[in-house]
Structure 1
Amino acid sequence: MAVSRPRTSPSASLTLFVPGLFSPPPSLDADDLAPLVTPALDTWLARADPETRAGASGMEAALFALFGVDPPRDADLPVAAVTRVVDMGVIDNEWWMRADPVHLRPERDRLILLDTQLVPLAVEEAQALVAELMQTYGDEGWVLKAPHPARWYLKPPREHRLVTTPVTEIVGRDIHPHLPRGEEGATWRGLLNEMQILLHTTRANEVREARGELAINSVWFWGSGRLPAVRGSGWARVCGDEPVALGLARLAGVPATSVPPRFSDLTSDVGRQLVVLEAAHAAAQYREARNWREAVQRLERDWIGPAYEAVRAGKLAEAVLCAENQRVFRLGRRAARRWWRRRRPLEAYA
């Protein structure tokens, strides 16, 4: 049986965006975990040319930076407008905000946020909850839509000035330090309280609780703004399943596909290609040490090791490894042959 090989070329370059790579979650049972063996990754990090890019950290901020979009001052990255392009297939210049469904769990004087990965929500339940909320806010000119169970979109009658925190940064954490702030932050904190009261009385939540499931007792406001100007990113192709990356690719006019299982399944052989690999991020986000280690081992086997060898063999002109903390490791053929550089384990870069 013929072995499939990536159709690469010496002029092609590959960027692997791996959020969560440098964020190993702590483990209570570290002695039970298999050793993390990543020789290709350790070698790549040791021999590459490191960079630290200016700008905010976080997965969404890093993705916007990869598409050449600078973050606005004292305002959100317009994540809602971008992901709405993917979820609803609509491009407009309206001001939108994400109002994602969450469960807030009281712990003493804290409220811990659990998202729909931890509190699953069916499509029908999301639609029912939104319909009940719109009974209150629809007559006031507000629009709330749930094209995806985990991603809700809110448009008020006018644009607002506030700063929020991405939901991806506070899962499992206390919400109080991350509530809406800025010029109109108090208004949105009040609106959040109103929606929590309304959600408490919804029929959809009564049904969930009767089944023994946690209620969707709040939303989380974040990612407000209008579509950014994406005038060209330089990418020839984007491979990813993350909605921010897919939305930015569409705005940039860049072809986008799902992530193939492994490096050998890449089909593009010309230009710069961006691949977004999320498995380590999800495990880091939910503090799943075992899943994080397994995700990194798969990345080593399926992506990092083969990409490193492709650079060494001259099949790729360059491969770049980057994460959400704006750390970049650029590897060319000459760098890949720096045998004298001492390898360090991945934990040393955390």
Structure 2
Amino acid sequence: MSMQLTLLIPGLLPVWETADGLLKPPQPHAPALRRLLRRSQVTAGSGSLERALFRLFGWQGDGEPPVAAVTARADGLDAACWMRADPVHLIADLHGVRLLDATVLQPESIEARQFAEAFDRTYAPEGLQLLTPHPARWYLRLGQPPRMQTTALPAALGRDIRTLLPVGDDASVWNGRATEVQMLFYDQPANIERERRRQPIVSGLWFWGAGAQPDALQAPACALYADEITARGLARCSASACNPQPATWQALQEAAGDEAAVCVVLDGLRHCEGSEDIGGWQLAVEALERDWFAPLAAALGRRQLTRLTLDTGGETYSVAAADLWKFWRRGPAACRRFSG
């Protein structure tokens, strides 16, 4: 049986900004990816991995999806109104304040508990408690979502946060708390020890993804393969399956069997974009070329695949088996970012 395959692959087409403008990254050697993009039809993307996943599970809301309530379930917390309050490292320079996340911090569980205890001593009188079920994902339980728009942490990575802070009726309260937390955390014993070990300190918390679990989530119409926390949380909330992410196209074939529609989350490039790891991004793309894009192009040619869709967040690229032979297509500008 032939398959229709969607790859959710944030970070495939990163935009790196410098003080002098956009940075032109090197061209990874990815001839199969270049060919797939050249033959594809381009439409507007989902906007973010989180939004794409929520849409996959039937969410029709506007604005920012309530990521915290969903990931909280995957992290073993109960159904409630939650907001993510994730640990971040802030870097101030002449051009602004950039944000790095737990991928760089690598906090340990005992450190997370120490920061949570310090937070609770200050904010317990306000009814706030910081929960750290995972070293990289911290939460605040709320009575109701704050009236403000926030920026998802993955979208803020590596960027100047001054234009990404919460806005709305309750924003001044939470922006004030964010500043207070920076001062509170600065001289905590855990940070002093991190400095002694020459590790980046936990500068503060990034508030985002607030809300309660949506009522209308439903199982997706395709088989889902992902290790990513939002995907796992959505599957748990909808009582549906989320299979482990396969490492290669061959592994997916063996796992999926006769599935007609499949969606795979490949999010390994995402943090390369946020941390400006250009060398790591190039190597990761070339690994995806070997493990995914080259065999997928061959599978389209043999019609094992009827359609391949690449959702990069910003744009979606869709190519059918018959499109591979449309040599007159020059393709979108994205295909020229890869050599081969």
Q: TM-score, normalised by structure 1?
A: 0.85
Alignment match, 1:183: 169
Q: Cα deviation per residue 1:170-198 (whole Å; 9 max; x = unaligned)? A: 22332221111111111111111222222
Amino acid at match of 2:124: G
Q: Counterpart of 1:131 in 2: which secondary structure?
A: helix
- The separation in 2 between residues aligned to 1:119 and 1:303, in whole angstroms, is 30
Q: Cα deviation per residue 1:153-186 (whole Å; 9 max; x = unaligned)?
A: 0113443211111121222332221111111111
Give the distance between the partners of 1:225 and 1:117, measured in 2 at CA.
24
Structure 2 equivalent of residue 19 of structure 1: 10
**Partner secondary structure for residue 224 of structure 1:** strand
Residue 312 of structure 1: aligned partner: 301
- 2:224 touches 2:262 (CA, 8 Å); kept in 1? yes
Q: Which moved more, 1:328-337 or 1:338-347?
A: 338-347
The match for 1:230 is 217
The corresponding residue for 2:58 is 68
Shift of 1:26: 7.3
Q: Who is 1:81 aligned against?
A: 69
Q: Answer whether contact 1:110 1:175 (CA < 8 A) is retained.
A: yes
Checking the alignment, whether the CA contact within 8 Å between 1:161 and 1:184 is kept in structure 2 is: yes
TM-score by length of 2: 0.87
Whole-Å separation in 1 of the counterparts to 2:97 and 2:35: 42
User: What one-letter code is carried by the residue in structure 1 that aligns with 2:35?
Assistant: T
C-alpha displacement of 1:252: 3.4
The structure-2 alpha-carbon separation of the partners of 1:346 and 1:180, relative to structure 1 and needing over 3 Å to count, comes to: closer
1:77–1:223 CA contact under 8 A, matched in 2: yes
The CA RMSD measured in Å over matched residues stands at: 2.7
- Using the TM superposition, give the Cα deviation of residue 83 of structure 1 relative to its aligned residue in structure 2, in angstroms: 1.0
Question: What is the distance in 2 between the residues matched to 1:148 and 1:128?
Answer: 13
Structure 2 residue runs without a partner (length 5+): none
Matching residue of 2:311: 322
Distance 1:31 1:169 in 2: 20
Corresponding residue for 1:58?
48
For 2:74 and 2:311, the matched residues in 1 are separated by: 24
Aligned to 1:4: none
Q: Distance in 2 between matches of 1:110 and 1:344?
A: 33
The DSSP-based 3-state class of the residue aligned with 1:15 is strand
What runs of 5+ residues in structure 1 fail to find an aligned partner? Answer: 1-8
* Match among 319, 327, 332 for residue 339 of structure 1: 327
Contact 1:49 1:335 in 2 (8 A): no
Match of 1:103, SS state, is strand
Q: Which residue of 1 aligns with 2:265?
A: 276
CA distance in 2, matches of 1:16, 1:145: 33
SS at match of 1:68: coil
Structure 2 distance, partners of 1:259, 1:310, is: 19
TM-fit CA distance, 1:260: 1.6
Distance 2:181 2:300 in 1: 53
Give the match for residue 292 of structure 2: 303
Q: Distance in 2 between matches of 1:250 and 1:337?
A: 41
2:30 paired residue number:
38
Residue aligned with 2:75, SS:
helix
Using the aligned pairs only, state the percent identity: 32
Contact 1:42 1:344 in 2 (8 A): no
Once residues 26 and 294 of structure 1 are traced to their aligned partners in structure 2, the CA distance between those partners, rounded to angstroms, is: 20
Structure 2 counterpart of 1:234, one-letter code = A
SS of corresponding position for 1:113: strand
Quick one: which of 166, 176, 182 aligns to 1:196?
182
Counterparts of residues 7-156 of structure 1 (less than 5 Å) = 9-10=1-2, 12-23=3-14, 25=16, 36-53=28-45, 57-73=47-63, 76-88=64-76, 90-92=77-79, 94-108=80-94, 110-156=96-142
Contact residue 51 and residue 328 of structure 1 kept, 8 A: yes
Q: Kindly tell me: are residues 155 and 26 of structure 1, through their superposed partners in 2, closer, same or farther at Cα, counting changes over 3 Å?
A: closer
Equivalenced residue count is 331
Kept after mapping to 2: 8 A contact 1:312/1:337: no
Secondary structure of the 1:256 match is coil
Q: Aligned in 2, Cα 1:106/1:287: closer, same or farther, shift over 3 Å? A: closer
